[in-house]
């Protein structure tokens, strides 16, 4: 008989600090998402100005976020530096962009080995605390260090601007740059450092776009350059189609959904690249999920069935405003970069998304037809693309003057044929196919669909004759024809 330990009580199974830190480092933060998390804290602290600073110094390079918010006294700072100090159920102010109480630590640990925070409340003294991940790993204890080393104090002195209140968050020992072999005069690594800064600029302008354009609620700078908010919906452009907004009740809250169809890129002219967004037209289409005006998800179809990224829908962008009280319903993650819509709202998203996608495709298609007419009657495409009975057909236009000349077999037949081949290569109707193509591959063009068997054979015979003329034996010519598209999918004399 096996004896079981049934002694009442419990064990304290505290997580290993070094292992916990390693796990937090692996949450998948990008640099731009990590910096945005720090800016969230500044906004929550009532900051009117936030400065993000990147400083290159080889292995001693650093990144800082400086704000003029309320600041923290000693007890508040220690609480803020504690991992998961406040859970998602904690009551928060209407301006609080936090959720788990982990953003400062997880974002910082993902990027740096040392996190120093210097903060001062109005009328109070400056308090400084430091997490050094090497100390945590070596001691196996959550030792939150008082103050900072001499080098960090020197940097803080440059960043603290004498404001009545505010906070400085400083990252040192940056994981990607505090490496053997990285030196100050390494131009390649230095360039990469500032390329990453550029990505942060674009990301912050997008994520905090509403704050930056909303009556001066926030001034946000990166290395002294003031950011202008990026509006994915081009609300001020006269060519934007604003579809009716809807308020969808979800439990005790409601979600606001407002669809937009952007104008054709050719109407945007020099502004088209800016309108495309940081990730480009294809990756910026879809739903934009906002929480308290902070962008959580920028351009995503939210896993809705049959909704896939497709260039036909590049002009479809839909704003979705989710109340912070519904965070758990939308499964917003600790990085505030992912969301999953609840079942009750998915059918509405699908309905609104389908209508918006259809209108977006029509804008591109209509523009294409206008362009064709504008070229006049003399202009004829080398290709014709149409859709009949749910199937796309792509044909060479036999009325094109060069095609007619080749078919006529004039004296310059070889020259004309070479010119025609080049023309066909350069004018493959990709745009028309993108616009017409439906979901998946149900409407893919099918070779020789509806053609009489003798038509297929006539084409195959000419290819066969060409192969023989070029030196193949009849048997080799048939073998080659049998593996050539589309004859590899068809039956004929080449199978004999």
Query: Which is higher by pLDDT, 260 or 371?
Result: 260
Average pLDDT over residues 307-336: 82
For the chain, what is the mean pLDDT? 83
Query: Which is higher by pLDDT, 180 or 5?
Result: 180
Q: How far is CA 6 from the centre of its chain?
A: 53
pLDDT at 375: 42
Give the Cα separation of 301 and 291 in Å (integer).
17
Helix (H) or strand (E) holding 283: helix 281-284
Total-model pTM? 0.70
pLDDT at 432: 64
Token pair recorded at residue 201: 């600029």
User: pLDDT tens digit string along 440-486?
Assistant: 445 555 666 666 777 778 777 877 777 777 778 888 878 877 776 66
CATH class of 241-370: alpha beta
Query: Which is higher by pLDDT, 51 or 16?
Result: 51
Query: Which is higher by pLDDT, 391 or 438?
Result: 391
pLDDT at 243: 92
* Confidence label for 285 from pLDDT (cuts 50, 70 and 90): very high
Spell out where 378-446 has E strands: 383-388, 391-396
Distances (CA, A) of 374 to 367, 378, 380: 11, 11, 12
Q: Specify the 3-state DSSP secondary structure of 296.
A: strand
Query: Which is higher by pLDDT, 255 or 14?
Result: 255
Query: Which is higher by pLDDT, 178 or 324?
Result: 178
Helix (H) or strand (E) holding 318: strand 316-322
Q: Check: CB of residue 467 under 8 Å from CB of residue 480.
A: yes
pLDDT at 224: 94
Average pLDDT over residues 207-231: 89
22-26, 144-148, 295-299: segment of lowest average pLDDT: 22-26
DSSP state of 361: H
Helix (H) or strand (E) holding 193: helix 187-207
Q: How far is CA 156 from the centre of its chain?
A: 34
Q: Percentage of residues in the chain with pLDDT exceeding 90?
A: 46
Ranges 82-96, 253-267, 330-344, most confident: 253-267
Q: How far is CA 308 from the centre of its chain?
A: 14
Q: Does position 422 have pLDDT exceeding 90, yes or no?
A: no
pLDDT at 14: 76
Domain 17-226 has CATH 1.20.1730.10: no
141-145, 308-312, 339-343, 353-357: segment of lowest average pLDDT: 339-343
Ranges 17-26, 199-208, 357-366, most confident: 199-208
Short-list 38, 36, 170, CA closest to 113: 170
Query: Which is higher by pLDDT, 457 or 36?
Result: 36
83-97, 107-121, 382-396, 429-443: segment of lowest average pLDDT: 83-97
Q: Percentage of residues in the chain with pLDDT exceeding 70?
A: 82
Half-sphere exposure of residue 238: CA atoms within 13 angstroms, side-chain side: 1
């Amino acid at each position: 008989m096996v004896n079981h330990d049934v002694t009442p009580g419990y064990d304290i199974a505290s997580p290993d600090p070094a292992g916990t830190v390693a796990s937090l480092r692996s949450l998948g933060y990008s640099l731009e998402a990590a910096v945005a998390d720090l800016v969230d804290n500044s906004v929550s602290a009532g900051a009117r100005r936030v400065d993000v600073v990147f400083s290159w110094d080889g292995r001693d390079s650093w990144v800082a976020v400086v704000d003029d918010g309320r600041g923290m006294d000693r007890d508040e700072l220690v609480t803020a530096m504690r991992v998961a100090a406040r859970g998602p159920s904690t009551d928060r102010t209407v301006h609080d962009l936090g959720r788990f109480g982990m953003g400062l630590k997880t974002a910082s640990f993902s990027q740096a080995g040392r996190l120093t925070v210097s903060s001062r409340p109005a009328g109070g003294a400056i308090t400084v605390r430091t997490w050094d991940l090497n100390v945590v790993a070596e001691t196996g204890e959550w030792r939150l260090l008082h103050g900072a080393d001499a080098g960090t104090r020197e940097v803080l002195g440059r960043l603290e601007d004498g404001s009545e209140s505010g906070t400085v968050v400083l990252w040192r020992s940056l994981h990607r740059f505090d490496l053997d072999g990285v030196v100050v005069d390494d131009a390649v690594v230095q360039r990469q450092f500032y390329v990453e800064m550029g990505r942060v600029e674009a990301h912050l302008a997008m994520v905090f776009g509403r704050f930056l354009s909303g009556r001066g609620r926030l001034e946000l700078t990166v290395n002294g350059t003031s950011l202008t908010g990026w509006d994915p919906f081009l609300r001020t452009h006269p060519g934007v189609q604003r579809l009716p907004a809807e308020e969808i009740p979800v439990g005790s809250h409601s979600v606001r959904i407002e669809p937009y169809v952007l104008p054709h890129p050719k109407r945007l002219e020099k502004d088209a690249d800016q309108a495309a967004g940081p990730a480009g037209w294809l990756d910026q289409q879809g739903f934009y999920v906002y929480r308290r005006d902070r962008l959580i998800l920028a351009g995503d179809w939210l896993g809705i069935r049959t909704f896939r990224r497709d260039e036909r829908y590049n002009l479809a962008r839909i704003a979705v405003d989710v109340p912070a009280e519904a965070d758990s319903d939308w499964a917003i993650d600790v990085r505030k970069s992912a969301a999953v819509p609840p079942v009750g709202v998915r059918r509405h998203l699908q309905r609104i998304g389908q209508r918006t996608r259809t209108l977006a495709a029509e804008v591109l298609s209509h523009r294409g037809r206008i362009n064709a007419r504008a070229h006049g009657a003399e202009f004829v495409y080398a290709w014709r693309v149409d859709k009949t009975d749910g199937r796309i057909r792509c044909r060479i236009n036999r009325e094109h003057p060069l095609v007619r000349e080749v078919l006529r077999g004039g004296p310059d037949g070889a020259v004309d044929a070479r010119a025609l081949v080049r023309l066909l290569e350069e004018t493959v109707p990709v745009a028309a196919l993108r616009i017409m193509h439906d979901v998946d591959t149900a409407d893919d063009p099918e070779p020789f669909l509806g053609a009489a068997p003798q038509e297929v054979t006539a084409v195959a015979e000419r290819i066969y004759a060409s192969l023989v003329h070029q030196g193949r034996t009849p048997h080799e010519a048939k073998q080659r024809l049998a593996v050539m598209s589309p004859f590899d999918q068809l039956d004929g004399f080449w199978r004999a």
